[in-house]
Amino acid sequence: MAFIYHPAMVLPSTFVTPILLLLLLLCRLGPYLVAAHSPPGVDCVLFNDEYMTCTWGSRETLAANYSLYYWYEDSLPEVECQQYLQDQGIRVGCHFNESEIIQFRPFHVLLNASLNGKTLPTSRKTMELQNLVKPEAPVNLTVRNMSGNQLELSWTSPYRNAECLEHTVKYKSNKDTRWTEHHVKGDIFSFPSVDYEKYYTFYVRSKINTFCGSTQLWSEWSIPVVWGSNTTSKGMAEEQPHWFWIHTVLIPIASCLLLLILVVLLVRMERVWVILMPQIPNPSKKFDELFTTHNGNFQEWVGVPKDFVESFKPNYSENICYVSELSPRDSYEPFWESSNDSLSVLPGAMAAPREHSPYNSSYLGM
């Protein structure tokens, strides 16, 4: 392939030199133009009245290093920031300690750009620090059961002036699709009615009220607290892992050990065996004196008086009466006298019995 050269394709040197000079000038003055025409803004936040940070951008948006100077109303001269916040060598903010913070006095800041040893003023701002307070998130959220299916949610705040706070409570049940928020002035929230078939998740956040400042800076949402029939779910286990381990591991192990100790004690205790399986008592040990000392005399062993025993014995006697039966042939025949047409029995006829036969039956009467 042949390359065709044409004189019109070559730029004259008179046009190239000015273009190069313009590009070089733009490269050197670009940071100045950026700093002069679009200075970064300064945003300050006072965290829980303990420290404050003022930021003016990030490493990606800043083209030069900046220096911050500040002073309070009627307290000149200005003071440069003592603790810069840097991102890979680029200053992106300033940190203020609690001793450097004064509320309810106008706070002035001046931000300068430093390029090649030269300082170019960029922006100036005045702020009221009491309107820039961002409190820490509430802690120790606690849910209590009240009468009439009512819940009471309480919490504490790390902010030192709790009377300067107002709060927002956010909650949702496991069957709701949207969060419900309530504005609360104190540190107690009453939930009017709950469904025991659901479980609820609660969050709380705080901000400075209108009596102590004018701000829209809310704290972060607190660590949630869960109440309801499914408090041992995954969310609850992640939020309160120590309770999860106590209920699922520690308590069962302790119960098993206690049961094992009780079983060992029961096996080793003779009294328990006697109670559970009583033995039949040996009467010889209980009635040894009856048989050895009193020769089986129960009345004497019991201690019944002799007079009382003698009173039951009979004190009379009966004669023995023998009764015999005579056979008809051995019976006596009476002597009949026919005189005077009358029957008579000779005297003594029945008084002398005959000799008894050995075959006669005899009866013994008492």
263 token code pair:
């079983």
Residue 3 included in any domain: no
The count of structural domains within the chain is 4
| One domain, residues 139 and 226 | yes
Residue 261 included in any domain: yes
| One domain, residues 49 and 125 | yes
Sequence-ordered list of residues with C-beta below 8 angstroms from that of 95, at least 6 positions apart, any chain: 51, 52, 53, 81, 83, 84, 85
Would you place residue 366 in the very low, low, confident or very high pLDDT band (cuts 50, 70, 90)?
A: very low
| One domain, residues 258 and 221 | no
| pLDDT digits 0-9 by tens, 214-250 | 888 999 999 999 988 654 444 443 444 556 667 777 8
Residue 253 included in any domain: yes
Residue 118 included in any domain: yes
Residue 91 included in any domain: yes
Q: How far is Cα 13 from Cα 220, in angstroms, rounded to an integer? A: 64
| One domain, residues 206 and 158 | yes
CATH code at position 49: 2.60.40.10
| One domain, residues 310 and 262 | no
Residue 29 included in any domain: no
Q: What is the pTM of this model?
A: 0.52
Residue 266 included in any domain: yes
Sequence-ordered list of residues with C-beta below 8 angstroms from that of 69, at least 6 positions apart, any chain: 78, 79, 80, 81, 109, 110, 111, 112
- Write out the residue range of the structural domain in which residue 294 sits: 282-326+360-366
Q: Cβ distance 153 to 145 under 8 Å?
A: no
The neighbouring-strand residues paired with 355 are none
Least confident of 77-86, 114-123, 169-178, 355-364: 355-364
Q: Which of 256 and 290 is assigned the larger pLDDT?
A: 256
